[in-house]
Amino acid sequence: MNVLLCGDFDAAEQAAWQQALAAAMPEARWWTLAEARARPAEVQAAVVANPPPGSLQGLPALRLIQSLWAGVDRLLADATLPAGVPLARMVDPAMNAAMAETALWATLALQRDFFAYARQQRQGRWQQHAQRRADEWPVLVLGQGEMGRAVARALVGMGFPVSGWSRTAGPADPGVTRIAGEAALWQALPRARVLINLLPLTAQTTGLLDARLLAALPRGAGVVNLARGRHVVDADLLAALDSGQVGHAVLDVFHAEPLPPAHPFWTHERVTVLPHVAAQTDERSAAAVAVANLRAARDGGSLRHLVQRERGY
Ligand code: NAP
Ligand code: GLV
């Protein structure tokens, strides 16, 4: 099988992925974009990480596009993405576990005022705040897919009351209150001390975290965005932080990445900035996930984690 490997990688990342994938599937030939362009009719599959737009057009034998990213919004924004070719996204338990760690850290830091203590340290201020219990600190997780469910389960394990919101009603994990639809969201928001966003970026979810939604939270709530920057209306979040409506925001993702040096999030004392690291794709496990799908494509088996392009995730 001839597989194009391309993405938004530097040379070292390309080499590391090539090595991991070749170790998992030694019988395949792994081609760079330049090599694939020299023999387009022979490319049978592509393993991609947000490749430059246009990379996947003109490959007539392509039978699978396997993303190394969980979110496929940038891929789907490429109008030249071949329409009839199955597109699979990355679903890897190691990534879900990493996301659960990030969300748990952020929630614990919000509940126990650790971000406030970090601010106080910078000011040389010794001041104790009342200690709050996890069971009195409700968390609302937007998205109950792979990531959102892993996060909700981890939070339940720490004793937080957790609600998980999704588009369609699905099975609830033990201890998680599963809610679906817009009305249920607006009912849940006023109780949520912490709001964690793990939605895919689609036409419906772009800009969801705006002034109206933030105003529905209880005063001083924490906002944790681990999904995509464009879910948030930055100016609305900044206004809510400045007014105290939002107590602190933990932001891993931004409209433009890297976050531009002059962006007010960098210096806002109630914002914690992470450089899009909430759950990085782990080559060691993700290569095996990708290869299982490549072999299924080659052998006529069933493909896993296919994106429904019309719904956008
Ligand atoms: P997923 O398994 O596809 O789950 C998506 C969830 O969002 C589903 O529960 C879905 O509802 C829900 N949803 C979609 N549209 C909705 C809407 N309009 N209203 C309400 N709920 C909606 O995705 P995932 O693997 O959990 O990943 C989620 C996102 O995390 C990715 O798309 C990516 O943007 C982000 N991510 C970030 C990082 C990072 O490092 N920061 C790493 C990986 C992923 P249904 O269950 O009803 O379909
Ligand atoms: C990271 O943001 C991903 O979608 O995998």
| Catalytic residue from among 63, 228, 248, 270 | 228
Walk across the sheet containing 271-273 and list its strands. 176-180, 162-166, 139-142, 194-197, 221-225, 246-251, 271-273
Strand partners, 221: 246
User: Is the CB of 313 inside a 6 Å radius of any atom of ligand 2?
Assistant: no
268 carries an active-site annotation:
no
Backbone angles phi, psi at 186, to 5 degrees: -65, -25
- Nearest ligand 2 atom, CA 227: 2
Which two three-digit tokens encode residue 287?
């290569």
How sure is the predictor about 64, in pLDDT bands with cuts at 50, 70 and 90? Answer: very high
Query: What is the per-residue pLDDT for 270?
Result: 98
95-121: per-residue pLDDT in tens? 999 999 999 999 999 999 999 999 999
CB 227 within 8 A of CB 71: yes
- Percent of the chain predicted with pLDDT > 90: 99
305 carries an active-site annotation:
no
Which residue among 105, 167, 306 is best mutated to probe the pocket of ligand 1, counting the most ligand atoms within 8 A of its Cβ?
167
- Nearest ligand 2 atom, CA 279: 1
Q: How large is the average pLDDT for residues 242-253? A: 98
User: Is the CB of 3 inside a 6 Å radius of any atom of ligand 1?
Assistant: no
180-213: per-residue pLDDT in tens? 999 999 999 999 999 999 999 999 999 999 999 9
Extended strands (E) in the chain: 2-7, 29-31, 45-49, 64-67, 87-88, 139-142, 162-166, 176-180, 194-197, 221-225, 246-251, 271-273
Question: What is the rounded distance in angstroms from the CA atom of residue 248 to the CA atom of residue 143?
Answer: 21
Question: What is the rounded distance in angstroms from the CA atom of residue 188 to the CA atom of residue 182?
Answer: 10
The ligand with the least distance to the CA atom of 275 is 1
| Catalytic residue from among 119, 263, 276, 305 | 276
> Which residue has a Cα nearest atom 29 of ligand 1?
200
Task: Work out the number of other CB atoms within 10 angstroms of the CB of residue 78.
Answer: 16
